[in-house]
Each structure stands twice: as structure tokens, then as C-alpha cells.
Amino acid sequence: MRVVIAGGHGQIALRLERLLAARGDQPVGLIRKPAQIADVQAAGALVHVCDLEDTGVQEVSEALLGADAVVFAAGAGPGSGAERKKTVDQDASALLADAAERMGVRRFVQISSMGAGTAPDPGRGEVWAAYIEAKTRAEEDLRRRDLDWTIVRPGRLTGDPGAGLVRLAEPPVERGAVPRDDVAAVIAALLPGTAGIKLTLELVSGDTPVEEAVRALAGMSPPRDRR
């Protein structure tokens, strides 16, 4: 399975690339900077340098040639301002989805955030509000498309070693933390099959093994209101 991962140098993306490569898949990391190439290759992925903030659908489509699935794992990151939340977390996701439609790549997993789809906490400031707004708009854009999409909203991300035990369910899920290792493991488990298609899922640490949590989604009907 060839999986193109936008934001291929991100912390979740590098973990996902290692998991996919280890099981014999072919991850391809989309990255902005040539300086990131070595890290992505060390994770076992091929590399395509493509700045999603400064390119068009034609170039992104070329990166998706031969892909079986795409993962949107990009984000403006800590320290970025409100404007980049829109250009990366929202607009870049839509650009990748445009390219996926153009190339006939139906499977699309979007990494979003718990809090998307709701009014942001006013006490967290303008940049946080812009981030939640961007994630919400990116989700809404993806739901309108004829793709086999899954939206995953992790809770507070940590660098703790993954336990392989999660709570993965449609919202609302009680807020909590989750290791990036376990987010990557959930994405890897979702990609090959049909479990989770047309669902918005929230993800925190829990007591269910990852593979079991994903299997439990099989056969679920898409909810009428996926916000």
C-alpha cells in the first residue's frame, strides 16, 4: 500500500512512516524543506518536497501518482500565527483533497483535533481560536467530498511511549491525553480497510487495544450529523 503523508516530517507522521515501512507498505512523506529529507528517509519513507502553502493542485497531484491512500498530518505548529493556521491546517488539507479527487485516490485520513466543531475556549486566545476554526473548516470541507474519508481528532498529544490502548469513538469523548505513538498506530490500523470510513472519531488513551478499537468501527453507519 502506497500512502502519501502530508506533513511528512511531523512527529506523528514520522512514527506513522516507521510503522508502515515495517509492515511492508510504502510511505511517501510530503515535506517543505530539503533539510528534512534525511529524517524522513531514516523513517523508511520516500520523499517528495512540496510546500503545500506555495504550490498548486497539479504539483500535489503528481506527488499522489500511484497512491492508495493519503493522510493529512500537516500543521502550522507551535509558535505560528493565526494566518498560518488557515493556510496550513485548513487550506492545505483542502488542496490535498483536491489532488486526491483529481487522481482518484479515495482513501483520505485527516488528523484533526479534539475541540474542532465546537466554539473555542475564549480564554485560550486568538491563535487557538484560529486553530480550532481552521480544523473545523477543514473537516467540513472533507465531509462534503466523495472520498472514503475518516477524521481523527486526538486529544492532548504527548511524547510518552505508546501503550497500544485507546478509546476511539464518535464524539463526544471525554477530554484526555494520548501518546503520538498511539495516534500513529490508530492511523496505520485504519488505512487498509473500510472501518471508520465517513466517520469523525475522537481519540484518547483508554483500555482497548488499537486493533480491537478499529475493528469495532466496522459496519457502523455514518451518522446524520458528523460535526
What residues act catalytically?
Answer: 131
Residue type, 52: L
**Which grid cell sits at 199?**
466517520
Residue 134 phi/psi, 5-degree rounding, is -65, -45
Q: Exposed, middle or buried by CB within 10 Å (0-12, 13-18, 19+), for 139? A: buried
Q: 116: Cβ–Cβ under 8 A, 6 or more apart, which residues?
A: 132, 135, 136, 139, 153
* DSSP bridge pairs for 168: 203
**What does the block give as the cell for 113?**
483535533
Phi/psi of residue 19, nearest 5 degrees:
-65, -45
For residue 93, the SS3 value is helix
16 within 8 A of 71, measured Cβ to Cβ: yes
Torsion of CA 139, 203, 124, 138, to 10 degrees: -10
